[in-house]
Structure 1
Amino acid sequence: MIGLGTLINTAGIVLGGLSGYFFGSLLNPRHQKSIMGTCGISVMFIGIAGAMEGMLTINNGVINSGQSMLVTICLALGTLIGELINIEGQFEHFGEWLKIKTGNAKDKDFVNAFVTASLTVCIGAMAIVGAIQDGILGNWSILATKAILDFIIIMVMTCSLGKGCGFSAIPVFLFEGLITIFATFLKPIMTDLAMNYLSLIGSILIFCVGLNLVFGKKVRVANMLPAVVLAVVAAFIHI
């Protein structure tokens, strides 16, 4: 069944949010802060691992690095585009609207929790590659694996940041669902090189999300999202 992976992933996030909401009260602020920091460090290392995989190669036992120009150009231009569009502002605006509509107007941490969690579970090669495979091949195994990871991440984040994290299921459902629907149209352009570039830039953005989780919001990651699109474009001009 095409689209099953998106449904499984969305369900995992909802369950993670509910688990964190109902059991989060068992943890005092000190415990929550420690868990939040640990979660951020985990996300950072996931991002580092993905980025290093795309930038480092081993030839005759010697480690070589590359793709520095790709990373610099995509991130710089992508962030400029994102800042002009103000994607993060749109995320926050949607979060404010959602906060009111769900009866959480008095929850001052709702928007930050929603935006942070949404960026954490939306960005990354697993979401995109998994949705493409689901749409083209009907193979939802990658998204099922991601659902388990997201369940744990959202549960922990909800304990620390609040119930707004659980509502990240909405952008994940829309994001992965749309990619799955249009996977047939994406198939001709999603070459191996395009996927490698996309994974590299996506992993760097994941690292930035981890930074925000550990040190507080320092980077407007949502405004860097156009860099992912530019990475795919770069695959056709071989930067």
Structure 2
Amino acid sequence: MVFPLGSLFNVVCIVVGGVVGLVLGGRLPDRMRAIVFTGLGLCTLIIGMQMGLKTQNPLVLVFSILLGSITGELLKLEDRLTALGDWMKKRMRSGNERFTEGFVSSSVLFCIGAMAILGSFDEGLRGDHTILFTKSILDGFASVAFAASYGVGVIFSAIPVFIYQASLTVFATVLQPILNEAMMTELVATGGALIIGISINLMELRRIPLTNMLPALVFAPVLARILM
């Protein structure tokens, strides 16, 4: 079993970035925060488009998103994650009204994407931490902006991030004989579509319940296996 060193480093970066964001939060003008979020949104949009365009079968992408969204709505994943954030807020006796929003938004941002998935797999299969180390640095900078705006809830997003990525690392060996190149391609493309949704949320163009769309990442490789 490979020790999830990359995920642990990711936690450290999120916590450190979150603390820096909390320290600077009161000193950052609203215009500065807004431009940082807009910049992150634009960069996230580009990354999501690059990933999404890698699909070799648009039908897999479309049906993965549709089936995943329906499944997430039925399971009420967004509500469950929100409830978890509220519970943590109560336990921590946080007076920050944006605790839950920060916890949920940053958890989704840090968990969704090719770097989280591929990085965890690469760490588990080859013991290479490079991708997760790179992702960790990016998450650290993002958590500064998030914590400055949302507060301490962002720091606690490190918990689901570690559980999610470490689990992928541990089970990577089991998944190795199952996932082929076509399945990984569609998995990355579907993740790209969800990342585009993150960029829309960051730029406050529309509120998209991305947590309810997470099951799309399960449907993508399954449909790719069937249709390709």
Moved more, 35-44 or 92-101: 35-44
Match for residue 9 of structure 2? 8
Moved more, 194-203 or 25-34: 25-34
Tell whether the 8 Å contact from 1:33 to 1:160 is kept in structure 2 after alignment: no
Match for residue 148 of structure 1? 137
Tell whether the 8 Å contact from 1:47 to 1:207 is kept in structure 2 after alignment: yes
* SS of aligned partner of 1:2: coil
How much has 1:162 moved relative to structure 2? 2.1
Aligned AA (1:134): E
Q: Distance in 2 between matches of 1:14 and 1:217?
A: 28
Tell whether the 8 Å contact from 1:81 to 1:226 is kept in structure 2 after alignment: yes
* SS of aligned partner of 1:182: helix
* SS of aligned partner of 2:16: helix
Match for residue 166 of structure 1? 155
Q: What RMSD over aligned residues (CA atoms) do the two structures have, in Å?
A: 1.4
Which residues in structure 2 correspond to 1:1-239 (within 5 Å)? Answer: 2-52=3-53, 54-55=54-55, 67-104=57-94, 106-215=95-204, 218-239=207-228
Q: Distance in 2 between matches of 1:208 and 1:73?
A: 16
How much has 1:30 moved relative to structure 2? 2.0
Consecutive aligned runs of 4 or more in structure 1 exceeding 4 Å deviation: none
Q: Distance in 1 between matches of 2:148 and 2:142?
A: 10
Query: What are structure 2's unaligned runs of at least 5 residues?
Result: none
Tell whether the 8 Å contact from 2:60 to 2:224 is kept in structure 1 after alignment: no
- Matched residue pairs, number? 227
Q: Distance in 1 between matches of 2:175 and 2:147?
A: 34
Normalising by structure 1, what TM-score? 0.91
Q: Distance in 1 between matches of 2:224 and 2:79?
A: 29
Moved more, 171-180 or 21-30: 21-30
How much has 1:216 moved relative to structure 2? 5.6
Aligned AA (1:74): S
Q: Distance in 2 between matches of 1:190 and 1:10?
A: 27
* SS of aligned partner of 1:26: coil
Q: Distance in 2 between matches of 1:12 and 1:232?
A: 30
Q: Distance in 2 between matches of 1:27 and 1:187?
A: 46
Normalising by structure 2, what TM-score? 0.95
Tell whether the 8 Å contact from 1:36 to 1:160 is kept in structure 2 after alignment: no
* SS of aligned partner of 1:215: coil
Match for residue 62 of structure 1? none
Query: What are structure 1's unaligned runs of at least 5 residues?
Result: 56-65
Q: Distance in 2 between matches of 1:43 and 1:103?
A: 33
How much has 1:171 moved relative to structure 2? 0.7
Q: Distance in 1 between matches of 2:16 and 2:179?
A: 32
Q: Distance in 2 between matches of 1:9 and 1:160?
A: 20
Match for residue 63 of structure 1? none
Aligned AA (1:113): G
